[in-house]
Amino acid sequence: MNEIARTIAATGEPMGPAEFELAIRAVGAERYHDKHAFHKLLHGGKLNKGQVQAWALNRYCYQAAVPRKDAALMSRTHDRELRREWIHRIHDHDGLGEEQGGIERWLVLTDALGLDRDYVISMEGALPATRFAVEAYVRFVVEQPLTVAVASSLTELFAPSIHRERIAGMLQSYRFVNEEVMAYFKRRLSQAPRDADFALAYVKRTAATRSEQEACVDAVRFKCNTLWVQLDALQHAYVEGNVPPGAFRPTA
Amino acid sequence: MNEIARTIAATGEPMGPAEFELAIRAVGAERYHDKHAFHKLLHGGKLNKGQVQAWALNRYCYQAAVPRKDAALMSRTHDRELRREWIHRIHDHDGLGEEQGGIERWLVLTDALGLDRDYVISMEGALPATRFAVEAYVRFVVEQPLTVAVASSLTELFAPSIHRERIAGMLQSYRFVNEEVMAYFKRRLSQAPRDADFALAYVKRTAATRSEQEACVDAVRFKCNTLWVQLDALQHAYVEGNVPPGAFRPTA
């Protein structure tokens, strides 16, 4: 925090909209999981198939939790317009009618990696740290003030660049990855910005006091932490070779 | 309970599917709110406009809570197929895209009754008993086992007949009610049976033990109670003339 920011924080004046947005975006620059060593290994083609399997298997837990998290948010608001907008996130992940949605696209990825679908869905082989982090995110959205819960989704502001990097890096690096397998990330390139724009405008409009704004910035930090923890756990288990009891053990 | 049923209950044997369904339907025959005195007054054209306003204003609280209740249920299940089916209930009430949904249709009814829309939405004039009953229903769905939460929706098995009766009775009885105003109920004639069929099949499939089945039957009783309480409160306040402090006072 620079001198001026420190003075403003001390006086308790709310940030202006531009300053508030910058504070949110600064969290991404500092700690979004594209900075993580495991991410760099994944996208740089430095992992073997078993390690990519472990990543996809664990990340499934997060994908599968997203609609529960979004439904929890919807269950908390009397604002019909907010629910009517937010429901698209559930459609994106669970699908709607003929459209099968993002979770199914994720299972296409795990299928292609040679993982048994029932095993993936059971989450039996997932790292406990993954599941704890994911459920911490769901609980955060259940329990925090609504605006703060909305703010925790704002890591989507940082997602398109990681997805573009991931698509390019993984297609180039791994012979077991093709365009069909990467369909999840391609779809998210258009979904995430729309969602993030709405959520950012909502948070800027509804977080009125300095302390509410700071709680929103903290929510983005919290969310980054839940993502970072997942990559830490993968690195510790599957790069450094400390697979905990009961977790997936690659044979590939 | 007859002698055979008593013996089965004592031995803890699960009911067969047909017997289980009969037990659920028996709750409706015993205590669904179509048996309530206020319901008979409403549909029989025995209420004045102020009393119908009070009913519509209070019932709005219930309508508006339904998507929160359904999102809460969705937030609790890892079963994507259940979420993909259940989300239609949110679409029905909140609308989807161009379609404005059941809550908006309810506001068309309160508009036509000459109530200020912001006042209705604020719920300021609603009876406290209404709001407590409605929130008790939302909490029930948040807190009970999932199958039991699903079972609490099964009052929809009994809804089409009440809606048919209501449409006919209200159109015939009240000059301030027309076809457009009754659009909510007309739509529910097709929505409720589809939802009820799904929920009944789900409950019959997943409630495996006698005690789970009984908890489901109790859930339908609980739900009937939440509906009955709302009509009791209306009757006490607006028929017997005991309007509590702060509640809507008709001028019509």
Is B3's pLDDT higher than 60? no
Instruction: Tell me the chain B residues in contact with residue A84 when contact means C-beta distances shorter than 8 Å.
Output: 94-96
Q: Return the pLDDT at A11.
A: 66
Average pLDDT over residues A213-228: 97
Contact B91 A90 (CB under 8 A): no
B90 near A CB under 8 A: yes
Which residues 27-86 of A have a C-beta within 8 angstroms of B?
64, 67-78, 80, 83-84
- Residue-range domains of chain A with CATH: 55-239 (1.20.910.10)
Q: For A178-208, how does the pLDDT look when each residue is reduced to its tens digit (9 = 90+)?
A: 888 788 888 888 888 889 999 999 999 999 9
Rounded-to-integer distance, Cα B191 and Cα B156, Å: 9
Q: Return the pLDDT at B157.
A: 95
Q: Return the pLDDT at B64.
A: 97
C-beta of residue B115 within 8 angstroms of C-beta of residue B181: no
Determine whether A68 is exposed, middle or buried from the number of CB atoms within 10 Å of its CB (0-12, 13-18, 19+).
buried
Q: Return the pLDDT at A69.
A: 98
Cβ neighbours around A120 below 10 Å, total: 25
pLDDT band at B161 (very low <50, low <70, confident <90, very high): confident
Average pLDDT, chain B: 92
Amino acid at A240: E
The residue among B192 and A242 whose pLDDT is bigger is A242
Is B11's pLDDT higher than 70? no
Rounded-to-integer distance, Cα B89 and Cα B66, Å: 8
Instruction: Tell me the chain A residues in contact with residue B75 when contact means C-beta distances shorter than 8 Å.
Output: 68-72, 74-75, 138, 142
Mean pLDDT lowest among A163-167, B5-9, B10-14: B5-9
Q: What is the DSSP letter of A13?
A: P
Is B1's pLDDT higher than 60? no
Å between A75 CA and nearest CA of chain B: 4
What DSSP assignment string belongs to A197-227? Answer: HHHHHHHHHH--SHHHHHHHHHHHHHHHHHH
C-beta of residue B154 within 8 angstroms of C-beta of residue B223: yes
Å between B27 CA and nearest CA of chain A: 28
Tally the residues of chain B: 252
Q: Return the pLDDT at B2.
A: 52
C-beta of residue A205 within 8 angstroms of C-beta of residue A78: no
Nearest-CB residue to B71 (from A64, A71, A94): A71
Rounded-to-integer distance, Cα A99 and Cα A88, Å: 13
Q: Return the pLDDT at A219.
A: 98
Q: For A150-170, how does the pLDDT look when each residue is reduced to its tens digit (9 = 90+)?
A: 999 999 999 888 888 888 888
Nearest-CB residue to A75 (from B71, B83, B87): B71
What is the residue whose two structure tokens read 């269950």? A75
Is B183's pLDDT higher than 90? no
Q: Return the pLDDT at B163.
A: 84
Rounded-to-integer distance, Cα B56 and Cα A25, Å: 46
Q: Return the pLDDT at A10.
A: 59
Helix extents (H) in B76-209: 80-94, 101-112, 117-122, 128-143, 146-151, 159-173, 183-206
Q: Return the pLDDT at A187.
A: 84
Q: For A86-139, how does the pLDDT look when each residue is reduced to its tens digit (9 = 90+)?
A: 999 999 999 999 999 999 999 999 999 999 999 999 999 999 999 999 999 999
Dihedral sign from CA coordinates of B214, B219, B221, B222:
positive
Rounded-to-integer distance, Cα A222 and Cα A78, Å: 25
Mean pLDDT lowest among A56-65, B11-20, B71-80, B175-184: B175-184
Contact A103 B80 (CB under 8 A): yes
Is B68's pLDDT higher than 80? yes
What DSSP assignment string belongs to A98-112? Answer: TB-HHHHHHHHHHHH
A96 near B CB under 8 A: yes
Average pLDDT over residues B56-69: 97
Rounded-to-integer distance, Cα B155 and Cα B24, Å: 9
Instruction: Tell me the chain A residues in contact with residue B131 when contact means C-beta distances shorter than 8 Å.
Output: none
Q: For B99-138, how does the pLDDT look when each residue is reduced to its tens digit (9 = 90+)?
A: 999 999 999 999 999 999 999 999 999 999 999 999 999 9
Mean pLDDT lowest among B29-33, B179-183, B219-223: B179-183
pLDDT band at A252 (very low <50, low <70, confident <90, very high): low
Residues 6+ apart with CB under 8 A from B151: B24, B199, B203, B207, B215, B216, B217, B219, B220
* H or E, element range at A55: helix A49-75
Q: Return the pLDDT at B7.
A: 54
Q: For A21-74, how does the pLDDT look when each residue is reduced to its tens digit (9 = 90+)?
A: 999 999 999 999 999 999 999 988 899 999 999 999 999 999 999 999 999 999
Instruction: Please state, in angstroms and as integers, the Cα–Cα distance from residue A110 to each residue in A3, A102, A103, A119, B139, following that order.
Output: 49, 12, 11, 10, 37
Instruction: Tell me the chain A residues in contact with residue B94 when contact means C-beta distances shorter than 8 Å.
Output: 80, 83-84, 87
C-beta of residue B69 within 8 angstroms of C-beta of residue A75: yes
Would you state the torsion angle of the CA atoms of residues A71, B124, A207, A211, taken in this order, to the nearest 10 degrees?
A: -110
Q: Return the pLDDT at B10.
A: 58
Structural tokens at position A121: 């869905």
B142 near A CB under 8 A: yes
3-state SS assignment for residue B220: helix
The residue among B43 and B22 whose pLDDT is bigger is B22
Determine whether A117 is exposed, middle or buried from the number of CB atoms within 10 Å of its CB (0-12, 13-18, 19+).
exposed
Residues 6+ apart with CB under 8 A from B219: B140, B144, B148, B149, B151, B152, B154
| B61: closest chain A residue by CA | A78
Which of B63, B70, B74 best probes binding to A when mutated, by most A CB atoms within 10 angstroms?
B74
